[in-house]
A and B are shown apart, each in its own frame.
Chain A
Amino acid sequence: MVGLTSAEWTAVSLSLRVALWAVALSLPFGVALGWLLARRDFRGKIFVETLVNLTLVLPPVVTGYLLLRLFGRQGWIGGWLEEVFGIQIAFTWWAAAIASAALGFPLMVRAIRLAFQGVDRRLEEAARSLGASRVDSFLSISLPLARPGIIAGAVLAFARSLGEFGATITFAGNIPGETRTLPLGVFTEMNRAGGGASSTRLAIVAVLLAAAALAFSEWLERRGRSS
């Protein structure tokens, strides 16, 4: 790792920061939606499921383009944010985080939904009979029992984030130090004369990070099974 240049380090640390924020931003929504899909039947459930899973099958470039239309300066949300708060999202590292969150979200929701489906509802009833309110029984029974699955979902979304390319380059651009994450760094160096060594180094880091994330998630799953 000592062999990385400062630009390469920047790309790696930016990638980690973007991925962490992407998970942090999407986790509350992921838990809420995962629980809702596991526990409630409502009109339009199929529509919601489709919408959540859309980015799984949509070309990432298209997702990035849609985000740009939404969060760009002329977009519904972007325009409003700029007008009211003077904030610009597109082509900042926040855009990279949002793009990563959008791409990792279906994986996260799927894992969390499965986790909640695995929690015995009869235990929630038992908690209610002992005086726990709805919210209390969720926090004291369902959430701790679903925790391994929730963490697994977060790890999966984190790993997906580290690999995000298409939506990021479309929505956040390829700005060194701001939005040039690890995959974008590899791509840039590859296309630069004499960048072969640099892209190889970055590729090795990418493999190590991905392997670490998978190993962590595997470890969590085993621990969850044995306890």
Chain B
Amino acid sequence: MSHLRVACRHRFPTGFDLDVDFTTDERMIALFGPSGAGKTSILMAIAGFLSPESGRISWGDHVLFDSALSLSVAPDKRRLGVVFQDQRLFPHLSVEQNLRYGQRRRQGNGSAPAVERIIEVLDLGTMLGRRPDTLSGGEGQRLALGRALMSAPELLLMDEPVAAVDESRRGTILGYVDRIIHEWDLPTLYVSHHRAEVQRLADWVVALDGGRVVQEGDPEEVLGAAGLAGSNGEPVNLLRLVRPVRSSDGAWLACVPGTRGEVCVRLPHVDAPPSDPTYVQFAASDVMLARGEVVRLSARNRFPARIEELVPRHGHIFAALSVADQRLWAEVTNDAVRDLGMAPGVEVTCLVKTAALEVLE
């Protein structure tokens, strides 16, 4: 039973207003959105460290919080594991004592992960005798993951677990997160503002902005389409590219597979060979649309696209396009829509400057 229901409303002294309501049966849930969207507050409310003014939070058969019933289960009785963004390792205890802290306080769960296996999977064996202040950011985060697992949680809450780690080590930590999720098949709620992380880990995405749920669904739907990136709430494009190959002039190309043929994108200059798959992100305002034949233009990336929908928003028009099997957005003016005769179903050419592409890790 992994049914998570979160409904809460809370006004913070700062004036920030959180008002969310979502439900999911998926096991790997991501709360996604820019910083200040309310992701961590929701996690803290589930963990029991924030009592919303009103609402109800339940997990499986357990009601954790219900303002109408004046019910709030104590944080230590919720059987949740929390991996905090800032690690929060106990400085006066050794690595092993940190790990054992939760183990000694387990609350009857037969299928608890074996201690030895946790140490093995997270490669903690060589650092058991050390003090937390001697650990690197990545080692500390592995310990934080292990410590949370040791308490045999029924739901694991992770708040930006790679944020405290150097840019270069993030992939490694993400690999460990991946391993523990698969090894123990633990229901997980993952908080992140990082699109690629969410895409990689989540089965279900709840996108937040300004304390509200703006979209929820599977990752492709939420992140690939009108997924929002900036706090301005404008759609941002994300393309999933596979099989990067090096062209004769040294630049990397990667393609979007599609049932109606694939579309290839020229990547901006990168030092290392791109990963497979690679994600590129670009703003809707960086996409140009053309009708008819396009000749002698500097934009290197041109793909055939079909207009699916025209959405007026913030005084502009956003054209929803299907490119191969993925969704892209282009920001266009009313004039352009009229002059080019753009309407749903019309075939256009989509142009993006290579320099506008941001390659995500």
Residues of A at under 8 Å CB distance from B? 120, 122-123, 125-134, 136-137, 140-141, 144-145
B40 within 8 A of A: no
10 closest A-B pairs by CB:
A131-B105, A130-B102, A126-B88, A129-B82, A128-B75, A130-B151, A128-B76, A131-B76, A144-B92, A122-B88
Closest to B101 in A: A130
Whether B90 and A129, one on each chain, are in contact in the complex, defined by CB atoms closer than 8 angstroms, is no
| Chain B stretch 74-116: residues in CB contact (< 8 A) with chain A | 74-76, 79-82, 84, 86, 88, 90-92, 101-102, 105-107
Q: List 13 A-B contacts (CB under 8 A).
A: A122-B88, A125-B49, A125-B88, A128-B75, A129-B75, A129-B76, A129-B80, A129-B81, A129-B148, A130-B81, A130-B151, A131-B106, A133-B74
Whether B107 and A141, one on each chain, are in contact in the complex, defined by CB atoms closer than 8 angstroms, is no
Closest to A140 in B: B101
Q: With a CB–CB cut-off of 8 A, which chain B residues contact A125?
A: 49, 75, 84, 88
Q: With a CB–CB cut-off of 8 A, which chain A residues contact B49?
A: 125, 128-129
Residues of B at under 8 Å CB distance from A? 47-49, 74-76, 79-82, 84, 86, 88, 90-92, 101-102, 105-107, 147-148, 150-151
Q: With a CB–CB cut-off of 8 A, which chain A residues contact B75?
A: 125, 128-129
Q: Give min CB distance, A71 to chain B, whole Å.
A: 40
Whether B107 and A131, one on each chain, are in contact in the complex, defined by CB atoms closer than 8 angstroms, is yes
Closest to B105 in A: A131
Whether A131 and B151, one on each chain, are in contact in the complex, defined by CB atoms closer than 8 angstroms, is yes
Docked Cα-Cα span, A125 to B86, in Å, equals: 12
Whether A126 and B90, one on each chain, are in contact in the complex, defined by CB atoms closer than 8 angstroms, is yes
Q: With a CB–CB cut-off of 8 A, which chain B residues contact A134?
A: 74
Docked Cα-Cα span, A140 to B97, in Å, equals: 11
Q: With a CB–CB cut-off of 8 A, which chain B residues contact A127?
A: 90, 101
Q: Give min CB distance, A78 to chain B, whole Å.
A: 43
Interface-central residue, A127, A131, A132, A136, by most chain B CB under 10 Å: A131
Q: With a CB–CB cut-off of 8 A, which chain A residues contact B106?
A: 131
Q: With a CB–CB cut-off of 8 A, which chain A residues contact B147?
A: 130
Q: With a CB–CB cut-off of 8 A, which chain A residues contact B79?
A: 131
Docked Cα-Cα span, A136 to B76, in Å, equals: 10
